[in-house]
Amino acid sequence: MESIYHRFTNVIADHLLPASRLVVAFSGGVDSRILLECAARFAFEQQRQCVVVHVHHGLSDNADLWSQRCVEWCQEKQLSCVVEKVQLELMVGDSVEERARQARYQALAKHLEPGDLLLTGQHADDQVETFLLALKRGSGPKGLSAMAQCTPFAQGFLLRPLLSVARSEIELAARQLSLEWVEDESNLDTRYDRNFLRQEVLPKITQRWPGFSGAVQRSAHLCAEQESLLDELLSPVLESALQADHSLALAVLCQQSEQARLRLLRMWLASLGQPMPSRHNLQILWQQVALAKADANPILQLGQGQVRRFNQRLYFVAQSRDISQWRAEIKLSQSLALPDHLGVLTLESTPGEGRLALPPAGEKLYVTFDPEGLSAHPAERGHRRKMKKLFQEYQVPSWLRRRTPILMCADKVVAVAGLFVDREFIGQDCELFWRK
């Protein structure tokens, strides 16, 4: 156990900040039991705050029992354990493993404060499995880098301090300490690729080649170094292509070689927190979206969103719900919370300095997101036009045209937030503010 704790402390010391707390992702399995032992000891010796979080997926009949045991084991260490219950929203074709992983990290992210270290229990055998799964998928250096020891996460960092420790060392230490742990019955199900590797493949490989795990670690490290170097060399190009709204200028990409262009697209998607697409999908993105005809409205579904093109830029548009039927009354000096995290709209009284004239007493103002059938006459324009044409003239991307607040009085457009005031409602009573 001392050898494991020594490696644990070396990793923690390399990334610890003055205000860092330790946040332990505690599943109750044998690896997280040893992780908890190390974290509790380190927190006590270094006088650091330690937070323990157990994610209850509800996928097993034993999930309630596991949560109870995790709480009890934390109490033995005089640590409180927060149980986060999550529900998986599975769609046809979804991977249960992947959706569970996403839900787990979303739950854990809520407990991180700036500079905190989220500790997870992945070990050397997990790293080998991840490497082989990436190899099976035909991944390049990025995938073959497997799991990084430290990556930025939420407001802090995701740290894997046991990544150099073998599963056999962890199990031996747990037995020596007379620890109990939970056994997830799904780990024996070889229908899952990772379990198949763990149960059927890796025992034979390590029997034949005892140093195989160390060799994988070295290969993963070399791949990670190459990835880091590529990012360093291409970062100035990405910065020149990246716009303030996180879109990507096609003019810059067109000047690059195919290999550099594909790499820049990967870097761009990674900066937006999106999973890495296959090379095939990247080629489709370039050929069918970036190079589509000028009058086309190309769309590529990618992960939890879409890649779209507008004004010679690429945009990643996250999935959003339809709010075109939403409407709500808005009053002077009262904030109106908009749906789907679109911010707040306010009409602020600015006598003599505003751009809006209030309607006659008794006529109410309301907000809608549905431009269908509406027309307006912007104060600075010479003609009344349909909202569809006005959105085009004001360079509003098609996917934002039903997500831009329209201020109405009866059936008349008063103003469109951030764009214009209708000529009929020009005045100096108030100002419309959209705080996103």
- At residue 304, φ and ψ (nearest 5 deg) are -95, 25
Question: Does the annotation list 189 as a binding residue?
Answer: no
Question: Does the annotation list 29 as a binding residue?
Answer: yes
Distance CA 70, CA 25 (A): 11
Helix 2-15 / helix 30-46 crossing angle, nearest 10 deg: 60
CB 168 within 8 A of CB 174: no
* Helix (H) or strand (E) run with residue 366 in it: strand 365-368
Question: Does the annotation list 324 as a binding residue?
Answer: no
Question: Does the annotation list 32 as a binding residue?
Answer: yes
Q: Is 363 helix (H, G, I), strand (E, B) or coil?
A: coil
Question: Does the annotation list 30 as a binding residue?
Answer: yes
Which pairing describes strands 156-159 and 412-416: parallel, antiparallel, or unpaired? unpaired
Structure tokens at 378: 């912007």
Distance CA 58, CA 70 (A): 15
Burial annotation 145-173 (CB, 10 A radius, 16+ → b, else e): bbbbbeeebbebbbbbbbbbbbbebbeeb
Longest dimension (CA), the chain: 87
Distance CA 289, CA 303 (A): 16
Which amino acid appears at position 70 of this protein?
A: C
* Helix (H) or strand (E) run with residue 93 in it: none
Q: Is 333 helix (H, G, I), strand (E, B) or coil?
A: coil
- With CA atoms as reference, report the closest residue to 346 among 407, 421, 423: 407
Structure tokens at 282: 């990247």
What's the DSSP call for residue 422? B
Q: Is 262 helix (H, G, I), strand (E, B) or coil?
A: helix
Residue with the two structure tokens 């190390």? 38
Distance CA 40, CA 22 (A): 9
Which pairing describes strands 385-386 and 375-376: parallel, antiparallel, or unpaired? antiparallel
- At residue 20, φ and ψ (nearest 5 deg) are -65, 135
Annotated binding site: 27-32
Which residues are annotated as part of the binding site for ATP?
Answer: 27-32
